[in-house]
């Protein structure tokens, strides 16, 4: 066959992928061709626009290195990561909802003891985080591994400003006790922009969007026999809750900070200053639980 035109070319390409190696490769290839072709039919890009698109994707690739993944950021800011999360993490009723992992997770955060201060000595409003890890039936999950990380009071993660902040500040790994609880001290995080000095930032500006995420604390929780939970707890009242650039906010993950006044007779210096408390009970899904569809 030859002489394809706007009406015949899509079927011709679909015919070409019919003998794909597996049914799944065929399904994915067919959907890709159908959706790409209908995008082009709808948008009718000029040659210059098509070249701009190719250049944008090329620069997105060139911006990636061991520390930066611009394609994942593109997926995040176009809502694809949260769509994928919704598809793959339908939770049984009661299980804590999930969000994106984000680029600031570090695999090798040090294990700390419950009650430790993980602020790295940074300035900020003292924050006590009290958490527990339970099953959907409310039973404690002892020995769960809880990775936590968050931004400082200026909206920076340690990995973004190692010289100023230092390694492993505002990040640590905890283990839940026999009652499923964990707690630690840190400082109150601030909202922060996603990296926007590359192609994704250029896209956000062109789309008239801001690059901000609301203030939050990240959690990654694992325990044998349970699905790993990747989530955040957002601080109630944050101005970006309704316009999170990566569409990650869910009502069930927003918590009010409780302000505790200074208590002069306490020995603990952090408590003497007065502090905020953030409390959240995380509910894990057993690998054998059936997801909601």
Residues at the interface with ligand BEZ (CB under 6 A):
73, 76, 100, 102-104, 194, 213, 246
Rounded CA gap, 51 and 8, in Å?
24
Residues shown for the chain: 293
**Quick check: 170 and 119 in contact, CB under 8 A?**
yes
Of the candidates 160, 193, 201, the one whose C-alpha atom is nearest the C-alpha of residue 60 is: 201
Neighbours of 135 (CB within 10 A): 19
Give the residue with the Cβ less far from ligand BEZ, 113 or 228.
228
Give the residue with the Cβ less far from ligand BEZ, 135 or 219.
219
CB of 280 to ligand BEZ, least distance (A): 17
CB of 110 to ligand BEZ, least distance (A): 20
Beta pairing class for 229-235 and 254-255: parallel
**Quick check: 144 and 179 in contact, CB under 8 A?**
no
Give the residue with the Cβ less far from ligand BEZ, 157 or 174.
157
Give the residue with the Cβ less far from ligand BEZ, 134 or 219.
219
Give the residue with the Cβ less far from ligand BEZ, 141 or 246.
246
Distance of CA 50 to the CA centre of its chain: 31
| Helix (H), strand (E) at residue 31 | helix 23-43
Q: Helix, strand, or coil here: 186?
A: strand
CB of 45 to ligand BEZ, least distance (A): 27
**Quick check: 188 and 122 in contact, CB under 8 A?**
no
CB of 213 to ligand BEZ, least distance (A): 5
CB of 292 to ligand BEZ, least distance (A): 25
Give the residue with the Cβ less far from ligand BEZ, 134 or 200.
200
Give the residue with the Cβ less far from ligand BEZ, 100 or 190.
100
CB of 246 to ligand BEZ, least distance (A): 4
- Going by C-beta distance under 8 Å and a sequence separation of 6 or more, which residues neighbour residue 233? 216, 217, 219, 253, 254, 255, 278, 280
State which residue has the least CB distance to ligand BEZ: 102
CB of 68 to ligand BEZ, least distance (A): 10
Give the residue with the Cβ less far from ligand BEZ, 103 or 140.
103
Rounded CA gap, 8 and 10, in Å?
6
Strand order in the sheet with 181-187: 181-187, 126-135, 275-284, 258-260
Can you say whether the dihedral through the CA atoms of 70, 74, 80, 86 is positive or negative? Answer: positive
CB of 143 to ligand BEZ, least distance (A): 26
End-to-end CA distance of the chain: 44
């Amino acid at each position: 066959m030859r002489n394809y035109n706007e009406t015949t070319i899509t079927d011709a390409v679909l015919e070409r992928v019919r003998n794909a190696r597996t049914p799944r490769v065929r399904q994915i290839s067919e959907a890709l061709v159908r959706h790409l072709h209908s995008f082009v039919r709808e948008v009718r890009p000029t040659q210059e626009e098509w070249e701009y698109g190719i250049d944008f994707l090329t620069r997105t690739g060139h911006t990636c290195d061991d520390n930066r993944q611009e394609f994942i950021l593109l997926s995040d800011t176009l809502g694809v990561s949260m769509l994928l999360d919704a598809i793959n993490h339908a939770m049984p009723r009661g299980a804590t909802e999930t969000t994106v992992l984000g680029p600031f997770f570090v695999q090798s955060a040090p294990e700390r003891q419950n009650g430790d201060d993980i602020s790295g000595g940074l300035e900020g409003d003292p924050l006590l985080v009290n958490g527990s890890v339970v099953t959907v039936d409310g039973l404690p999950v002892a020995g769960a591994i809880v990775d936590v990380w968050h931004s400082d009071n200026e909206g920076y993660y340690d990995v973004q400003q190692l010289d100023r902040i230092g390694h492993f500040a505002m990040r640590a790994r905890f283990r839940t006790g026999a009652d499923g609880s964990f707690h630690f001290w840190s400082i109150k995080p601030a909202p922060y922009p996603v990296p926007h000095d590359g192609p994704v930032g250029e896209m956000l500006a062109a789309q008239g969007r801001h690059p901000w995420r609301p203030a939050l604390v990240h959690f990654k929780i694992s325990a044998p026999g349970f699905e790993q939970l990747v989530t955040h707890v957002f601080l109630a009242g944050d101005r970006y809750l309704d316009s999170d650039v990566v569409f990650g906010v869910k009502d069930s993950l927003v918590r009010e900070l409780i302000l505790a006044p200074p208590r002069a007779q306490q020995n603990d210096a952090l408590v003497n200053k007065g502090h905020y408390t953030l409390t959240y009970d995380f509910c894990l899904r057993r690998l054998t639980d059936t997801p909601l569809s």
